[in-house]
């Protein structure tokens, strides 16, 4: 079971850098067809990004979400579980 938002299965989320100095991280959640399901959320720390994704999963009864972290020079892809554990995919 994947995370469901607005009746669509959420396949992945993306964490990237924003242009803001006060809130340097941006979180976007995409549906299975690649369409953004929520507006981008600006957050202050990477831990806040992770907690935000966990709260979205809990609200919509999901079990995991694939996350692409583009906030650093080298892109990282991992699966985030309900418990907050990360499983590296690449």
CA angle (31 as vertex; 21, 51 as ends), nearest 5: 45
Predicted local confidence at residue 32, as pLDDT: 75
Going 29 to 35 to 37 to 43, the CA torsion angle's sign is: positive
Q: Specify the pTM.
A: 0.79
Scan for tokens 């067809």, then name that residue.
33
DSSP β-bridge partners for residue 15 = 27, 69
Task: Give the domain range for residue 42.
Answer: 3-88
Identify the segments of the chain with pLDDT beneath 50: 1, 4, 7-8
DSSP-derived letter for residue 21 is S
Q: Are 25 and 49 in contact (CB under 8 A)?
A: yes
Please give the tally of structural domains in the chain.
1
pLDDT in tens, 26-35: 999 887 778 8
């Amino acid at each position: 079971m994947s995370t469901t938002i607005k009746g669509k299965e959420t396949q992945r989320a993306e964490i990237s850098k924003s242009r803001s100095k006060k809130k340097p991280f941006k979180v976007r959640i995409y549906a299975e067809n690649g369409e953004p399901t929520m507006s981008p959320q600006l957050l202050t720390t990477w831990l806040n990004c992770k907690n935000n994704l966990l709260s979205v999963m809990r609200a919509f009864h999901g079990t995991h979400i694939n996350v692409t972290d583009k906030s650093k020079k080298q892109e990282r892809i991992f699966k985030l579980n309900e418990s907050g554990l990360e499983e590296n995919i690449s």
